[in-house]
């Protein structure tokens, strides 16, 4: 086994309660698999996900954070996903300016019926993080 495969990333996958989680359920219904180390975490709407909750896992032990919710126009709360997109843009700007690897944060729409897309996202992100390696911030004791 190569070094790359020995590193098992800790990944948080934020899913909105509607399309995001729906995608997960559809995947389950079709018996599709995704890596165990990708941990789903449900939020009511991606627009309700505070910026701090994307940042905090990256300091405390996560190697990557991926966020999925409804497509533009489909948000159960009308515009939550638009706000989420802006918030993710803000967080990425901060991470980029501070040299903290904004590529460890992904934002991708997943619809209720897109089970394959859901598992593909989880798997692809997992492979992506494996290539990036462990998050250097998470082992710092002086944060």
Per CB under 8 A, residues contacting another protein are 51-52, 55-56, 59-61, 66, 72-73, 79, 82-83, 85-94, 96-100, 106-109, 116-117, 120-121, 123-124, 127, 136-143
CB of 100 to another protein, least distance (A): 7
Q: Which is nearer to another protein, 10 or 17 (CB)?
A: 10
Structure tokens at 73: 């126009």
Using CB atoms within 10 A of its CB, is residue 48 exposed (0-12), middle (13-18) or buried (19+)? middle
Which helix (DSSP H) or strand (DSSP E) does residue 20 occupy? Answer: helix 19-29
Q: Which is nearer to another protein, 21 or 84 (CB)?
A: 84
Q: Which is nearer to another protein, 25 or 117 (CB)?
A: 117
Contact 110, 26 (CB under 8 A): no
CB of 94 to another protein, least distance (A): 6
Which helix (DSSP H) or strand (DSSP E) does residue 23 occupy? Answer: helix 19-29
């Amino acid at each position: 086994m190569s070094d790359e495969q020995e590193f098992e990333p800790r990944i948080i996958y934020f899913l909105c309660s509607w399309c995001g989680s729906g995608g997960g359920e559809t995947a389950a219904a079709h018996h599709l698999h995704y890596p165990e180390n990708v941990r789903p975490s449900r939020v009511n709407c991606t627009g309700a996900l505070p910026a701090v909750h994307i940042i905090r896992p990256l300091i405390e032990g996560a190697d990557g954070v991926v966020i999925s919710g409804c497509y533009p126009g489909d948000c159960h709360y009308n515009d939550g996903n638009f706000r989420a997109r802006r918030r993710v843009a803000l967080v990425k700007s901060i991470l980029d300016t501070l040299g903290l690897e904004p590529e460890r944060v992904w934002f991708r729409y997943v619809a209720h019926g897109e089970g394959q897309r859901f598992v593909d996202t989880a798997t692809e992100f997992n492979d992506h993080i494996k290539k990036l390696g462990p998050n250097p911030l998470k082992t710092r004791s002086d944060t």
